[in-house]
Amino acid sequence: MQLDGKIALITGGGSGIGRATAVLFANHGAKLAIADINPAGGQETVEMVAEQGGEAFFVQTDVSQATQVENMVNEVVERYGRLDIAFNNAGIEGHPVRTVDVSETDFDQIMAVNVKGVWLCMKYQIPQMVALGGGTIVNASSVAGLVGTHSMPVYGASKHAVIGLTKSAALEYARKGIRINAICPSVIRTKMVERGFAEFPQFVEATKRINPMRRLGEPHEVAEAVLWLCSDAASFVNGTALAVDGGFTSQ
Protein backbone atom coordinates (compact mmCIF):
# COMPACT_ATOMS: atom_id res chain seq x y z
CA MET A 1 0.00 0.00 0.00
CA GLN A 2 2.57 2.53 -1.16
CA LEU A 3 0.02 5.38 -1.45
CA ASP A 4 -2.16 4.56 1.55
CA GLY A 5 -4.29 7.60 2.46
CA LYS A 6 -2.98 9.75 -0.38
CA ILE A 7 -5.18 11.87 -2.64
CA ALA A 8 -4.27 11.58 -6.31
CA LEU A 9 -5.45 13.37 -9.44
CA ILE A 10 -4.99 11.75 -12.86
CA THR A 11 -5.74 13.62 -16.08
CA GLY A 12 -6.43 11.58 -19.18
CA GLY A 13 -7.69 8.92 -16.77
CA GLY A 14 -10.41 7.64 -19.07
CA SER A 15 -8.27 5.15 -20.98
CA GLY A 16 -4.83 3.70 -21.58
CA ILE A 17 -1.97 4.63 -19.27
CA GLY A 18 -4.14 6.97 -17.21
CA ARG A 19 -6.69 4.24 -16.52
CA ALA A 20 -4.05 1.63 -15.70
CA THR A 21 -2.41 4.09 -13.30
CA ALA A 22 -5.73 4.89 -11.63
CA VAL A 23 -6.47 1.23 -10.94
CA LEU A 24 -2.93 0.63 -9.65
CA PHE A 25 -3.01 3.73 -7.42
CA ALA A 26 -6.34 2.64 -5.96
CA ASN A 27 -4.93 -0.83 -5.26
CA HIS A 28 -2.14 0.90 -3.31
CA GLY A 29 -4.52 2.87 -1.12
CA ALA A 30 -4.99 6.21 -2.89
CA LYS A 31 -8.30 8.02 -3.27
CA LEU A 32 -8.65 9.29 -6.80
CA ALA A 33 -9.94 12.09 -8.94
CA ILE A 34 -10.21 10.97 -12.56
CA ALA A 35 -10.19 13.81 -15.10
CA ASP A 36 -10.82 13.38 -18.79
CA ILE A 37 -12.47 15.23 -21.65
CA ASN A 38 -14.47 12.06 -22.37
CA PRO A 39 -17.18 11.46 -19.72
CA ALA A 40 -17.89 7.87 -20.77
CA GLY A 41 -14.27 6.80 -20.45
CA GLY A 42 -13.78 8.66 -17.19
CA GLN A 43 -16.87 7.17 -15.59
CA GLU A 44 -15.82 3.71 -16.75
CA THR A 45 -12.49 4.13 -14.96
CA VAL A 46 -14.30 5.24 -11.79
CA GLU A 47 -16.44 2.08 -11.98
CA MET A 48 -13.36 -0.11 -12.48
CA VAL A 49 -11.76 1.41 -9.39
CA ALA A 50 -14.95 0.89 -7.37
CA GLU A 51 -15.22 -2.74 -8.48
CA GLN A 52 -11.84 -3.36 -6.87
CA GLY A 53 -12.84 -1.67 -3.63
CA GLY A 54 -11.26 1.71 -4.33
CA GLU A 55 -12.68 5.22 -4.17
CA ALA A 56 -12.75 7.64 -7.10
CA PHE A 57 -14.83 10.37 -8.69
CA PHE A 58 -14.87 11.84 -12.18
CA VAL A 59 -14.50 15.45 -13.24
CA GLN A 60 -14.84 16.33 -16.92
CA THR A 61 -11.94 18.56 -17.91
CA ASP A 62 -10.37 20.02 -21.02
CA VAL A 63 -6.83 20.62 -19.77
CA SER A 64 -6.24 23.33 -22.38
CA GLN A 65 -8.84 25.55 -20.67
CA ALA A 66 -7.62 27.42 -17.59
CA THR A 67 -11.01 27.76 -15.92
CA GLN A 68 -11.70 24.04 -16.26
CA VAL A 69 -8.29 23.10 -14.86
CA GLU A 70 -8.71 25.45 -11.91
CA ASN A 71 -12.17 24.01 -11.24
CA MET A 72 -10.78 20.47 -11.49
CA VAL A 73 -8.17 21.09 -8.81
CA ASN A 74 -10.65 22.94 -6.63
CA GLU A 75 -13.08 20.00 -6.82
CA VAL A 76 -10.40 17.63 -5.58
CA VAL A 77 -9.54 19.87 -2.65
CA GLU A 78 -13.18 20.52 -1.79
CA ARG A 79 -13.94 16.80 -1.75
CA TYR A 80 -10.84 15.46 -0.05
CA GLY A 81 -9.28 18.49 1.65
CA ARG A 82 -5.93 18.26 -0.09
CA LEU A 83 -3.96 17.08 -3.13
CA ASP A 84 -0.90 14.86 -2.59
CA ILE A 85 -0.21 13.43 -6.05
CA ALA A 86 -0.88 14.49 -9.63
CA PHE A 87 -0.26 12.54 -12.81
CA ASN A 88 -0.67 15.00 -15.69
CA ASN A 89 -1.23 12.42 -18.37
CA ALA A 90 -3.75 13.97 -20.79
CA GLY A 91 -2.38 14.33 -24.30
CA ILE A 92 -3.05 14.00 -28.02
CA GLU A 93 -0.87 12.86 -30.89
CA GLY A 94 -2.10 14.62 -34.04
CA HIS A 95 -1.74 13.17 -37.52
CA PRO A 96 1.53 11.73 -38.87
CA VAL A 97 2.81 14.30 -41.38
CA ARG A 98 6.14 15.94 -42.12
CA THR A 99 7.06 19.31 -40.68
CA VAL A 100 6.08 21.42 -43.68
CA ASP A 101 2.70 19.70 -43.98
CA VAL A 102 1.53 20.36 -40.42
CA SER A 103 -1.46 22.68 -40.38
CA GLU A 104 -1.51 25.65 -38.06
CA THR A 105 -4.72 24.29 -36.52
CA ASP A 106 -3.08 20.97 -35.65
CA PHE A 107 0.02 22.72 -34.30
CA ASP A 108 -2.06 24.92 -32.00
CA GLN A 109 -4.25 22.04 -30.80
CA ILE A 110 -1.36 19.71 -29.95
CA MET A 111 0.54 22.43 -28.14
CA ALA A 112 -2.60 23.56 -26.29
CA VAL A 113 -3.27 20.10 -24.84
CA ASN A 114 0.21 18.65 -24.44
CA VAL A 115 2.14 21.72 -23.31
CA LYS A 116 -0.29 24.37 -22.11
CA GLY A 117 -2.33 21.61 -20.47
CA VAL A 118 0.62 20.38 -18.40
CA TRP A 119 1.59 23.94 -17.48
CA LEU A 120 -1.98 24.81 -16.42
CA CYS A 121 -2.24 21.67 -14.32
CA MET A 122 0.98 22.48 -12.47
CA LYS A 123 -0.05 26.13 -12.15
CA TYR A 124 -3.07 25.13 -10.05
CA GLN A 125 -1.72 21.94 -8.43
CA ILE A 126 1.51 23.35 -7.05
CA PRO A 127 -0.05 26.01 -4.77
CA GLN A 128 -2.19 23.31 -3.15
CA MET A 129 0.89 21.19 -2.53
CA VAL A 130 2.87 24.14 -1.20
CA ALA A 131 0.08 24.81 1.30
CA LEU A 132 0.15 21.13 2.29
CA GLY A 133 3.93 21.13 2.76
CA GLY A 134 4.78 18.82 -0.13
CA GLY A 135 3.56 16.58 -2.90
CA THR A 136 4.50 14.72 -6.03
CA ILE A 137 3.78 15.46 -9.70
CA VAL A 138 4.50 13.26 -12.71
CA ASN A 139 4.06 14.76 -16.18
CA ALA A 140 3.54 12.56 -19.22
CA SER A 141 6.24 13.12 -21.80
CA SER A 142 7.40 10.41 -24.23
CA VAL A 143 10.49 8.98 -25.85
CA ALA A 144 9.48 11.54 -28.50
CA GLY A 145 10.60 14.08 -25.90
CA LEU A 146 14.06 12.50 -25.80
CA VAL A 147 14.79 11.86 -29.49
CA GLY A 148 13.55 13.04 -32.87
CA THR A 149 10.32 11.55 -34.22
CA HIS A 150 9.85 11.13 -37.97
CA SER A 151 6.55 12.59 -39.24
CA MET A 152 5.40 13.59 -35.73
CA PRO A 153 7.26 16.91 -35.40
CA VAL A 154 4.77 18.83 -33.29
CA TYR A 155 4.02 15.90 -31.01
CA GLY A 156 7.77 15.51 -30.50
CA ALA A 157 8.21 19.22 -29.87
CA SER A 158 5.38 19.18 -27.34
CA LYS A 159 6.90 16.27 -25.43
CA HIS A 160 10.32 17.94 -25.37
CA ALA A 161 8.56 20.98 -23.93
CA VAL A 162 6.96 18.88 -21.19
CA ILE A 163 10.42 17.81 -20.05
CA GLY A 164 11.56 21.43 -20.01
CA LEU A 165 8.58 22.47 -17.92
CA THR A 166 9.15 19.54 -15.59
CA LYS A 167 12.81 20.30 -14.96
CA SER A 168 12.19 24.01 -14.38
CA ALA A 169 9.33 23.41 -11.94
CA ALA A 170 11.35 20.73 -10.13
CA LEU A 171 14.11 23.26 -9.48
CA GLU A 172 11.67 25.92 -8.34
CA TYR A 173 9.78 23.83 -5.79
CA ALA A 174 12.32 21.28 -4.51
CA ARG A 175 12.72 23.18 -1.23
CA LYS A 176 8.95 23.23 -0.80
CA GLY A 177 8.90 19.44 -0.57
CA ILE A 178 7.47 18.93 -4.04
CA ARG A 179 9.05 16.42 -6.41
CA ILE A 180 8.25 16.85 -10.11
CA ASN A 181 9.29 14.27 -12.70
CA ALA A 182 8.38 13.21 -16.23
CA ILE A 183 7.63 9.75 -17.57
CA CYS A 184 8.74 8.93 -21.12
CA PRO A 185 7.07 5.82 -22.55
CA SER A 186 7.83 4.42 -25.98
CA VAL A 187 5.05 2.85 -28.05
CA ILE A 188 2.49 1.50 -25.58
CA ARG A 189 -0.57 -0.55 -26.51
CA THR A 190 -3.22 2.15 -25.96
CA LYS A 191 -6.21 3.42 -27.92
CA MET A 192 -4.05 6.29 -29.20
CA VAL A 193 -1.52 3.85 -30.63
CA GLU A 194 -4.23 1.55 -31.98
CA ARG A 195 -5.69 4.49 -33.91
CA GLY A 196 -2.35 5.02 -35.60
CA PHE A 197 -1.92 1.33 -36.38
CA ALA A 198 -5.44 1.18 -37.84
CA GLU A 199 -4.44 3.94 -40.25
CA PHE A 200 -1.00 2.45 -40.99
CA PRO A 201 -1.16 -1.31 -40.20
CA GLN A 202 2.23 -1.92 -41.77
CA PHE A 203 3.83 -0.10 -38.84
CA VAL A 204 2.80 -2.71 -36.23
CA GLU A 205 5.55 -5.24 -36.89
CA ALA A 206 8.02 -2.53 -37.86
CA THR A 207 7.49 -0.86 -34.48
CA LYS A 208 8.13 -4.12 -32.67
CA ARG A 209 11.29 -4.76 -34.67
CA ILE A 210 12.92 -1.44 -33.77
CA ASN A 211 12.49 -2.05 -30.04
CA PRO A 212 15.27 -4.11 -28.42
CA MET A 213 12.61 -6.18 -26.60
CA ARG A 214 10.77 -6.80 -29.90
CA ARG A 215 7.35 -5.90 -28.53
CA LEU A 216 5.09 -3.01 -27.56
CA GLY A 217 4.84 -1.85 -23.99
CA GLU A 218 1.67 -2.32 -21.95
CA PRO A 219 -0.15 0.41 -19.98
CA HIS A 220 0.36 -1.37 -16.66
CA GLU A 221 4.13 -1.33 -17.19
CA VAL A 222 4.11 2.46 -17.40
CA ALA A 223 1.70 2.67 -14.47
CA GLU A 224 4.18 0.78 -12.27
CA ALA A 225 6.86 3.36 -13.08
CA VAL A 226 4.49 6.24 -12.29
CA LEU A 227 3.60 4.56 -8.99
CA TRP A 228 7.26 4.33 -8.07
CA LEU A 229 7.91 7.98 -8.92
CA CYS A 230 4.94 9.02 -6.75
CA SER A 231 5.90 6.83 -3.81
CA ASP A 232 8.34 7.40 -0.98
CA ALA A 233 10.59 4.81 -2.63
CA ALA A 234 11.59 7.58 -5.08
CA SER A 235 12.06 10.22 -2.38
CA PHE A 236 15.35 11.54 -3.87
CA VAL A 237 14.22 11.45 -7.51
CA ASN A 238 13.39 14.93 -8.76
CA GLY A 239 13.49 16.66 -12.15
CA THR A 240 14.16 13.46 -14.07
CA ALA A 241 12.72 12.21 -17.36
CA LEU A 242 12.34 8.47 -16.86
CA ALA A 243 12.28 6.39 -20.04
CA VAL A 244 9.97 3.36 -19.96
CA ASP A 245 10.84 2.15 -23.41
CA GLY A 246 12.23 -1.39 -23.49
CA GLY A 247 15.67 0.05 -24.26
CA PHE A 248 14.60 2.04 -27.34
CA THR A 249 16.55 5.20 -26.44
CA SER A 250 19.68 3.14 -25.63
CA GLN A 251 20.21 2.39 -29.33
Is the Cβ–Cβ distance between 211 and 168 less than 8 Å? no
How much is the pLDDT for 94? 87
How much is the pLDDT for 87? 99
The Cα–Cα gap between 72 and 54 comes to 20
**Residue 196: inside a domain:** no
Residue 197: pLDDT above 70?
no
**Residue 154: inside a domain:** yes
Given 80, 124, 155, 173, the catalytic residue: 155
**Residue 205: inside a domain:** no
Look at the chain and report how many structural domains it folds into: 1
How much is the pLDDT for 227? 98
For position 130, which CATH number holds?
Answer: 3.40.50.720
Average pLDDT over residues 13-23: 97
Q: How confident is the model at residue 29 (pLDDT cuts 50, 70, 90)?
A: very high
Query: Has 155 been annotated as catalytic?
Result: yes
How much is the pLDDT for 80? 98
Q: How confident is the model at residue 113 (pLDDT cuts 50, 70, 90)?
A: very high
Give per-residue pLDDT as tens, 145-190: 999 999 999 999 999 999 999 999 999 999 999 999 999 999 888 7
**Residue 194: inside a domain:** no
The Cα–Cα gap between 86 and 73 comes to 10
**Residue 182: inside a domain:** yes
How much is the pLDDT for 196? 66
Give per-residue pLDDT as tens, 86-111: 999 999 988 889 999 999 999 999 99
How much is the pLDDT for 208? 82
Burial 89-115 (b: 16+ CB within 10 A, else e): bbbbbbebeeeeebeeebeeebbbbbb
Residue 124: pLDDT above 90?
yes
**Residue 103: inside a domain:** yes
**Residue 170: inside a domain:** yes
The Cα–Cα gap between 55 and 192 comes to 26
Q: Tell me the whole-structure pTM to 2 decimals.
A: 0.95
Domain that holds residue 227: 7-188+218-242
**Residue 152: inside a domain:** yes
CA 203, 199, 113, 166: dihedral to nearest 10 degrees? -10
